[in-house]
Structure 1
Amino acid sequence: MDLENYLNRIVYSGDLKPNRATLENLFAAQLRMVAFENIDQQLGVPVSFDPSDVFEKVVLQQRGGWCFELNTLFSWVLQEIGFEVAYLAGYVGLEKPSPDQAPDHMLLKVECDEQLLVDVGFGGAMSAPVPLKPIKVSQQPYDITLAAQNEGYIQYSESAGGREAGYWFALDCVEPRVFQPASTKLQTDPNSPFLRTLTAQKRYTNRHVVLRGRVLTTFDTVGTREETLSTPKELADCLKYDFGLNVPAIAEVWSKIMKRHGELFAG
């Protein structure tokens, strides 16, 4: 693992002092160049979040990944530069997690003048670190809210175009191994959304592009626009040009993507 290779991957040549400006610039650069995606899960390729495996995939193979990969990589980068970083455990969904629920989302806490929520692995709504306290911020086209809840939880929510998503988390620091059960389940459970539906997401300055199956959605300050892809070539081209993912093998699962589209949009 080599920091210079990573910086080349995200096309970053700025300052590397462990300060707020560096953190924000690296955050934006990774989001701009590295997509959130689950192509390997669709192709039946096992996904690891061992740092060396993530570096090989995301940096050397110029791919993207999901939260366990993208936040693992970003944590390593920040620590190499000199930031104080800790892993936090998240629970995806708008409802409070049950006491026995296993965490299924990895996020980061970074000490930099103040405690910051840093998450480059939830798909790209967050375009900059957010102060780790009850707060509402505008990161166009999204409104992002952190709300303190009972029993020590904080609820993260993001909304744009009439759609809302989010997760719950606590401030207790955890070791990466706590995410292994969720990583395994999300790759093996037939009902896992990461197996059932192809997704790719990428965040630009004021624009968020989301692919789910055949449907490409763009969120920006103008509004929300959708396009439905019609052929395997259109899908491969979309991944290549909208998300920077050159994976021709995705055409092999076009029939699966078509079937899932029919299930979601029947009638």
Structure 2
Amino acid sequence: MDLENYLSHIAYTGDLKPDRATLDSLFAAQLRMVTFENIDQQMSVPVSFDLSDVFEKIVLRKRGGWCFELNTLFSWVLREIGFEVSYLAGYVGPDKPLPNQAPDHMLLKVECDELLLVDVGFGGAMSAPLPLKPAMVLQQPYDLTISARRGGFIQYLESAGGADAGYWFVQEGVEPHVFQSASTQLQSDPNSPFLRTLTAQRRYANRHVILRGLVIRTIDAVGIREEVLSTPKELVDSLKYDFGLDVPEIADIWPKIKTSHQELFAV
């Protein structure tokens, strides 16, 4: 694994210092060039978050990934530069986690003059690291909120266009192996959202482009615009030109994706 290969892939030519300016620039560059996506899960290809596998997939094959892959890669990059990084365990959804509930989201804590929440693996609403303290922050077009909750939990929420998403987490660092059960379950459970619905998401400076099923949604300061893909070629082209993913073989599972889309949107 070579840091220079990663930096070339994300088109980053700035400083490599363990400071806030470098962190912000790397964060934005990874979001801009590396897509959140679940194509492998849709095509029944096993997904690993072993660092060597992640590097090969994202940097060498120019693919994207989900939180376990994206934050694994980014944590390695930051440590190579000299940042202090910890993995944090997240629990996706609006409700406080139950006792002994297994975490299903990987995020990062970075010490850089202050404690920062760093997450390049939740789809892309967060466009820059956030101070790890209660606050509401505008990162156009999203309102992001961090709130302290009982039991030592912290809740992260993102909102735009009337839709909310988020997760709960605690500040204590964990080892990567704690995410293995969730990775396995989310690749094997028929009710897993990563198996039920194709998704790809890419974050730009002031807009967020999301593919869910066959609907492409663009969210920006103007509002929300949607279009529906109607042919396998449109899907292949959208993944290539909207998300930087050259995966023509996705056309082979067009019937499956179309059926899932119809179930999701009841059309």
**Aligned residues of 2:134 and 2:146 also touching (Cα < 8 A):** yes
- Displacement, 1:263? 1.1
Letter of the 1:98 partner, please give it: L
SS in 1 for 2:47: coil
How much does 1:100 deviate? 2.1
Scaled by the length of structure 1, the TM-score of the pair is 0.99
Aligned partner of 1:261 in structure 2 is 261
Could you say which residue in structure 1 is the equivalent of 2:127? 127
Q: Does the Cα contact within 8 Å between 2:89 and 2:106 map onto a contact in 1? A: yes
1:109 aligns with 109
Amino acid at match of 1:150: R
1:16 counterpart residue number: 16
Quick one: which amino acid aligns to residue 101 of structure 2?
A: Q
Name the structure 1 match of 2:51. 51
Report the CA distance between 1:265 and its aligned residue: 2.3
Q: What is the Cα-based RMSD across aligned positions, in Å? A: 0.6
Shift of 1:258: 1.0
Instruction: Tell me the amino acid that sits aligned with residue 168 of structure 1.
Output: W
Q: Alpha-carbon deviation of 1:172?
A: 1.0
What SS does the corresponding residue of 2:173 show, helix, strand or coil? strand
Amino acid at match of 2:94: L
Deviation (angstroms), 1:85:
0.2
- Give matches, 1:1-267, under 5 Å: 1-266=1-266
Task: Give unmatched runs, 5+ long, in structure 2.
Answer: none
Q: Return the alpha-carbon distance in structure 1 between the equivalents of residues 41 and 247 of structure 2.
A: 13
Amino acid at match of 1:214: L
Deviation track 1:148-177 (CA, whole Å, cap 9, x = no partner) reads 000000000000011000000001110000
The code of the aligned residue for 2:242 comes to D
Percent of aligned pairs sharing the same letter: 76
| 3-state SS, counterpart of residue 32 of structure 1 | helix
Q: Displacement of 1:61 after TM fit? A: 0.2
Counterpart-to-counterpart distance in 2, 1:69 and 1:103:
15
Give the letter aligned to residue 183 of structure 2: S
Aligned-partner Cα distance in 1 for 2:233–2:258: 13
Distance, in Å, in 2 between the alignment partners of 1:44 and 1:38 is 10
Q: Equivalents in 2 of 1:232, 1:208: separation in Å?
A: 23
- The structural deviation recorded for 1:261 is 1.6
SS in 2 for 1:137: strand
Equivalent position amino acid for 1:220 in 2: D
Separation (CA, whole Å) in 2 of partners of 1:252 and 1:96: 40
Aligned residue identity for 2:196: R
Q: How far apart are 1:266 and its partner, in Å? A: 2.2
After superposing the two structures, state which structure 1 stretch, 248-257 or 144-153, moved more: 248-257
Q: Report Cα offsets for 1:201-245 as digits up to 9, x if no partner.
A: 000000000000100000000000110000000000000000000
Letter in 2 for 1:84: E
Q: 1:176 & 1:132 partners in 2: Cα distance?
A: 21
Cα distance in 2 for partners of 1:255, 1:172 equals: 44
Corresponding letter in the other structure for 2:118: V
Task: Tell me the TM-score normalized by structure 2.
Answer: 0.99
* Secondary structure of the corresponding residue to residue 143 of structure 1: strand
CA contact 2:213–2:264 (8 Å) conserved in 1: no
Partner SS state of residue 78, structure 1: helix
